[in-house]
Amino acid sequence: MTRRERLERKQERRLEWADSRAAKANQEWERGDLSEEKSGIPFGQPILVGHHSEGKHRRAIERAENAMRRAHEHSEKAKEHAEKAQNIQRQLDRSIFSDDDNAVQELEARIAEREAQAARIVEYNKSARTAAKAGEKHGNLSLLDEAQKRDLLETLRVCPYHSRPGAPMPGYVLSNLRGRINADRERLERIKAN
């Protein structure tokens, strides 16, 4: 069984648990119904202290409160299981597992995509140096893709101390990207060796 298959099974179990807890929550909500026939006292009528129906009514209220508390606990647990199943799905969508059939092709594609991103950043930084000499605010933003533009502008907005004349992309962005490329290349070599 591959890692992807194990995660898919884990996700299925989480979804089953979420459905089970949601069903239990619905049962408890129904038990918590404090209708007139369960409590013994019609709505609007005061409880007569010391009357034989007082004890029955107070026990009915306690049962209803306990059922509502259990229903809330079950619904919270169902929500937790559903969130964990969503996290597993995100991991399945984003990850390349070494035992996948197409792991080599996917890693090569990811390396090529990241190299293209790095090349765009290098070209932008060149234009930023030219812009700095001309006294412009930033380089040619059309060289960057939308995500890179958004990240750069957000960094300049939040961390103005990072900005220099021409506003080049912060150095850590390119370093991190090249580090991920190298890690993917090493992983690709290990997969091909096996």
Write out the DSSP string of 22-33.
HHHHHHHHHHT-
CA distance 44 to 31: 22
- Domain end point (choices 94, 122, 137): 94
CA distance 3 to 174: 31
121 shares a domain with 151: yes
120 shares a domain with 62: no
Domain that holds residue 39: 3-94
119 shares a domain with 84: no
110 shares a domain with 82: no
pLDDT for 37 beyond 60: no
Q: Is the pTM of this model over 0.75?
A: no
170 shares a domain with 124: yes
pLDDT, position 43: 62
109 shares a domain with 77: no
147 shares a domain with 71: no
pLDDT, position 48: 64
> How many structural domains are present in the chain?
2
81 shares a domain with 127: no
pLDDT, position 163: 72
pLDDT for 41 beyond 70: no
107 shares a domain with 172: yes
CA distance 81 to 75: 10
pLDDT for 23 beyond 70: yes
pLDDT in tens, 88-136: 999 999 999 988 888 899 999 999 999 999 999 999 999 988 988 888 8
How much is the average pLDDT of 32-37? 63
pLDDT in tens, 58-100: 787 788 889 899 999 999 999 999 999 999 999 999 999 988 8
Higher-scoring residue by pLDDT: 6, 63: 6
161 shares a domain with 111: yes
Q: Which pLDDT band, with edges at 50, 70 and 90, does 28 fall under?
A: confident
- Domain end point (choices 55, 73, 94): 94
pLDDT in tens, 138-177: 788 888 999 998 988 888 888 877 677 777 888 889 999 9
pLDDT, position 112: 96
- Domain end point (choices 94, 121, 153): 94
CA distance 190 to 184: 10
Percent pLDDT > 90 in the chain is 48
Taking phi first (over 0 means left), then psi (-120 to 50 degrees means alpha), and beta for anything else, what does residue 80 get? alpha
87 shares a domain with 52: yes
